[in-house]
Amino acid sequence: MLGKTAGGLFWMFRSLERAENTARLIEAGFRIALTRSSDPASDWKSVIVTSAGQMGYEAKHDGYDSARVTDYLLRDGDNPSSVLSVMKSARDNARLVRTALTTEVWSAVNETWMLLTDVLKDPVPETDLPQVLATIRHQSALVRGALHGTMLRNDIYDFARLGTFVERADSTARIIDVKYYALLPAPSFVGSRMDNVQWETLLRSVSAHRSFRWATNGDYSAANIADFLILDRRMPRSLAFCAAQICDNLEYLAEEYGQETDSLTQARALKARLKDRDINTIFEEGLHEFLNSILTDTGRLGLQIEQDYRFNG
């Protein structure tokens, strides 16, 4: 396979994952701001901070509110992470790697792009927002289904999955980090209304408010939530899950190519850091510091994959 093709697949699926994550963030923010927030501006701000878009946003806007934040995250061409921007990037990359995709995957991405450029051609009124977010989620599911159902499990698939999980690990770590203070075991706040709101935002941002209840029998506590989002191998957006998937896909590549790479070594180390751990040891290490080092490791791993498999020469 061409190095460029591997890179195109990696970035195509990073972009698709980012579109979905952004939509999920907006959904969480929208819900919280609409139903319970005492300070909507700060809730919307934390949505922007989580999407890593604070600088870009503040260069254009002088305050935070639902209309401007959702527009920035959904449609703004100046925002490289807006749903429109990443969908365009996903589709451009899909065209680049067209010969590596099944017709079903290509059609799903192309259709998604056509549909979203149409749905997002004008600002989305608040009344239409749930419908638009549902469309984005629905289309993401379509692409994912086409990938799972029709693609050979070879190196093409591995690079697609690597893009997905590198992006997802990055996104989950960022989401937890923005709200890390809400997870700190500070007894005086536990059980307060404030914490409940923050925790729900967190869980909703990764679409895990229901699976958390199933997995923990509804036992809301800072430690349980942190454990669920960071270490739970059953939870498909947890850091441990992402690290294991990255590691698996690099193992498959090593097997197929008959060569172990530096990225595999790094991925194994990342996976090991998240395996068989007690969440309390992470609190002792410092949650914020821990998350930061995970973000750094993930970023470095992404670059190493790019280099090991010659995405850019």
Contact positions toward another protein, by CB under 8 A?
A: 1-6, 92, 95-96, 98-99, 103, 106-107, 110-111, 114, 155, 257, 259, 309-310, 313
In contact, 79 and 56? CB cutoff 8 Å: yes
Q: How far is it, in rounded angstroms, from Cα 128 to Cα 136?
A: 13
Residue 259 or 296: the one with the smaller Cβ distance to another protein is 259
The helix (run of H) or strand (run of E) holding residue 271 is helix 262-273
- Which is nearer to another protein, 111 or 260 (by Cβ)? 111
Closest of 282, 284, 246 to residue 265, by C-alpha: 246
Residue with tokens 């994912």: 144
Q: Which is nearer to another protein, 220 or 257 (CB)?
A: 257
Nearer to another protein, 73 or 101 (CB): 101
Residue 311's Cβ-side half-sphere holds a number of Cα atoms within 13 Å equal to: 19
State in angstroms the smallest separation of the CB of 116 from another protein.
Answer: 14
Please give the structure tokens belonging to residue 153.
């499990």
Q: Considering beta carbons, is residue 48 or 142 the nearer one to another protein?
A: 142
Least distance in angstroms from the C-beta of 96 to another protein: 6
Nearest-approach distance from CB 164 to another protein, in angstroms: 18
Rounded to a whole number of angstroms, the minimum distance from the CB of residue 128 to another protein is: 24
Q: What whole-number distance in Å separates Cα of residue 97 and Cα of residue 8?
A: 6
d(CA 240, CA 167): 14
For the bound state, the minimum distance from the C-beta of residue 33 to another protein, rounded and expressed in Å, comes to: 36
